[in-house]
Structures are given as C-alpha cells and as structure tokens.
C-alpha cells in the first residue's frame, strides 16, 4: 500500500553521476512497510546497552528491513563506530545509504572511517552542510545527495527536510503498517516540531519516536509539557537517548511505562515485538555525565 506525501514537493535533481552532489526535493509516494522483520540497532550512543561495546558521546543507528539498509548518523569517532559494528556483526558493505541528521561532530565524526570500509553508498546531507563534509564523502567515492525540503530517500523512508534556524537538522520518517516511526539525531529544531512535521508529511499516526531529544538542562515542567504534547500527538512508544538527558529519560520512562524503550549502544529494537517492551528492561544503559553536552 502506498501513501502519498501530503506536502507538495518540487523535483530538483542536479547532476546524476556518481561522486557528484545532487539536490533532492522529490515528489512521490512512500510505500508503507510491514513491521515484521523491521529492526533498528543503536550502534553508537553515550549509554551502554550491550556489554563489550564502547559507549561514547554521539549517536548512530542502523535501520534494517526496508528496501534499503540505512545508517542514520555515524557517531563521533570512527574507530568506535567500526568497532561497535564489528562486535554487533554488522557488515558495513550491507549498508546502502547514510543519512546525516546535522553537521555536529558527534553525528558525522565516524563518516570517513565508515566510507573507507564501504564507499558504495549514497550519503544524504543537508544543503546547508559545510563543504568539508560533502567533499569528504565525495573524496571517498560516495554519491552525495543534498536535502533542503522534505525528500523521499527510499521506497519506505523520507527525510523531514531541513528544519530549524540556528542549527538545521533533518529527521527520518518511516510509515509502517502499525504506524509512523520517527528517528531524530539531536532534535535541535524541537522534538515536538519534528513529530508534527512527520505527521503532516505522511498523514500517519505515530508508533514510535526515538533518538536524541535534546532535553539536557530542561526543567521537569518543560519535560513534562513535551511528554504531554507527545500524548496529544498520539505517540505510542518513546525511546529517548543520546542528548535527551538522564532526567528526561526517566520522566519519559515513568509516563510511558511498558511503552518506553530504554536505549543504548548495542540495543536492537525489533519493531514487530514492541508490545512485549517493558520499561523494567534496564540492561546496562550506563550514561555519560550530562556536562558532556556539545
């Protein structure tokens, strides 16, 4: 089943050869993917889920079960990224595309190391990214696609497009037969704004929002307001990690109870078994100090 993107988007593809830069503002339909077999693995995070991996400030996750395998962000350190992927038995060559949420080092720092292992990918960056990041990807032989507005990046996934003012960022939206999955890098534009945008683009009810929510330093009242807005938006499951902050993570856990996902490096979320999720599942999840915010 296909659901049309509700926003009207212009097609503006510039150039077509490999290792070139293309701008993607694509119109088209997003195919709803069956949730069976869909899984998301947190490869890089400042909290630890699976013993033997290395936690570090940053974020990266692998999305499998779509028409394309997507690495969303690359963490801050290439050596750690590749080591964690190896320990999780993830073959870099099985990745089809890399989507970079924004240009901060804790999300793009592992890009060069990853591309050294697999240059045969398409790298989706924001049009506003500095040339250094785009050139680094091109220099490894990767295809670079620039995103400004909302963009279809595969049959099953779309970018929200460039959001925010001071710090611009894109997030992923994946419509499934059980609802919409929204994945954020740091949510600098505001996690509620991102969820609203994803709903507007797809017309879907929200099954899960996961990733960095950027709530370090927020008061309990501010965090509870965001949780309330999540409820109003119908968000069924929440998985804050990375820059969300320890206090926000615990407040989300208290509210969402068995619909809360505690995340960390090494955690694989099997989307078909969300109903069995239990907030008491608190395996390692050891955090970095909240003073590490960048």
**Are the beta carbons of 174 and 157 closer than 8 angstroms?**
yes
pLDDT tens track of the chain, all 294 residues?
454 444 333 333 333 333 345 555 554 688 899 999 999 999 999 999 999 999 999 999 999 999 999 999 999 999 999 999 999 999 999 999 999 999 999 999 999 999 999 999 999 999 999 999 999 999 999 999 999 999 999 999 999 999 999 999 999 999 999 999 999 999 999 999 999 999 999 999 999 999 999 999 999 999 999 999 999 999 999 999 999 999 999 999 999 999 999 999 999 999 998 865 554 454 444 443 332 222
The pLDDT assigned to 24 comes to 55
Domain regions of the chain by residue span: 2-268
The pLDDT assigned to 29 comes to 80
Q: Helices (H) and strands (E) in the chain — how many of each? A: 7, 16
- The DSSP bridge pattern shows strands 151-152 and 158-159 to be antiparallel
Nearest to 45 by CA among 250, 253, 186: 186
d(CA 143, CA 49): 33
Q: Which CATH superfamily is domain 2-268 in?
A: Ribonuclease Z/Hydroxyacylglutathione hydrolase-like (3.60.15.10)
Q: What is the dihedral of CA 87, 92, 97, 99, to 10 degrees?
A: 40
Residue 102 has phi, psi (to 5 degrees) of: -160, 175
Nearest to 156 by CA among 72, 38, 12: 38
Angle at 53 between CA 51 and CA 54, to 5 degrees: 120
């Amino acid at each position: 089943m296909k659901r049309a993107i509700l926003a009207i988007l212009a097609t503006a593809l510039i150039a077509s050869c490999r290792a070139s830069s293309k701008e993607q503002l694509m119109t088209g339909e997003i195919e709803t993917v069956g949730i069976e077999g869909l899984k998301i693995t947190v490869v890089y995070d400042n909290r630890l889920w699976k013993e033997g991996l290395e936690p570090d400030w940053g974020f990266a996750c692998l999305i499998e079960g779509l028409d394309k395998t997507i690495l969303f962000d690359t963490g801050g350190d290439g050596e750690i990224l590749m080591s964690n992927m190896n320990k999780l038995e993830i073959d870099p060559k099985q990745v089809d595309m890399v989507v970079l949420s924004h240009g901060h080092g804790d999300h793009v720092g592992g890009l060069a190391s990853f591309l050294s292992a697999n240059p045969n990918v398409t790298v989706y960056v924001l049009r506003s990214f500095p040339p250094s990041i785009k050139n680094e990807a091109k220099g490894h032989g990767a295809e670079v696609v620039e995103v400004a507005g909302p963009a279809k990046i595969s049959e099953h996934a779309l970018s929200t497009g460039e959001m925010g003012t001071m710090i611009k960022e894109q997030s992923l939206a994946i419509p499934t037969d059980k609802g919409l999955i929204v994945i954020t890098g740091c949510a600098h534009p505001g996690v509620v704004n991102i969820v609203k945008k994803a709903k507007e683009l797809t017309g879907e009810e929200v099954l899960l929002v996961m990733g960095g929510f950027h709530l370090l330093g927020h008061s309990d009242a501010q965090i509870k307001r965001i949780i309330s807005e999540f409820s109003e938006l119908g968000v069924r499951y929440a998985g804050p990690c990375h820059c969300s902050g320890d206090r926000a993570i615990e407040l989300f856990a208290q509210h969402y109870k068995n619909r809360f996902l505690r995340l960390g490096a090494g955690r694989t979320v099997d989307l078909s078994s969300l109903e069995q999720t239990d907030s008491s599942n608190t395996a390692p999840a050891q955090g970095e100090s909240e003073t590490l915010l960048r």
